[in-house]
Amino acid sequence: MPRTATIHRKTSETDISLTLNLDGTGMADIATGIGFLDHMLTALARHGLFDLTVRAEGDLHIDFHHTTEDVGIVLGAAFAKALGDKRGIRRFGNALIPMDETLAEAAVDISGRPFLAWNVDFQRPKIGEMDTELFEEFFRALAFNAMVTLHITRRAGHNAHHVAEACFKATARALRMAAEADPRIGDAIPSTKGAL
């Protein structure tokens, strides 16, 4: 079964269409109106080996908050939908990613229990025109709508661009690992409860 999902979400603040293939090759076609967010989502797709198409229109004349958060909501919902009943997956994933002076760690449990632990500080408030505080909002929306537990930690680093990018790459690798098929588990659900 192909693990794909297409979701369209329209509110008074944003209009987002997104297609996700969990078993892709890392192809990305992203247009959110926020250049740095496009860059980060492209990195997420490439390093997660997810095929990802995003079209977003939002109230960018106000700020980038609604668009960033709502893209996280839609991506998380697509991830959950594409996973289905979670049979045969590894469930847990983690990655420790260096980027020059920066070291970022992500750990994920596709648990059905949404949670974000965000231990990332930025030494400046913006990267280009994007507020660095919005990355926490993006990852919270992603985790809660994907129904996963996600921990992201900055272990080292001061360059804000590197810190953000390493967080996205680490999350991509952790999600890829957790969503991969586990040949030893077969068609079982990886939980003692029998459901995730």
- d(CA 136, CA 120) in angstroms, rounded, equals 8
For the chain, 196 residues long, give each residue's pLDDT as a single digit of tens: 899 999 999 999 999 999 999 999 999 999 999 999 999 999 999 999 999 999 999 999 999 999 999 999 999 999 999 999 999 999 999 999 999 999 999 999 999 999 999 999 999 999 999 999 999 999 999 999 999 999 999 999 999 999 999 999 999 999 999 999 999 999 999 998 888 8
Give all strands (DSSP E) within the chain, no chain letters: 4-10, 14-21, 28-31, 51-58, 92-99, 102-109, 115-119, 126-127, 130-131, 149-156
Whole-structure pTM value: 0.97
CA proximity to 2, closest of 84, 60, 99, 80: 84
4-179 CATH: 3.30.230.40
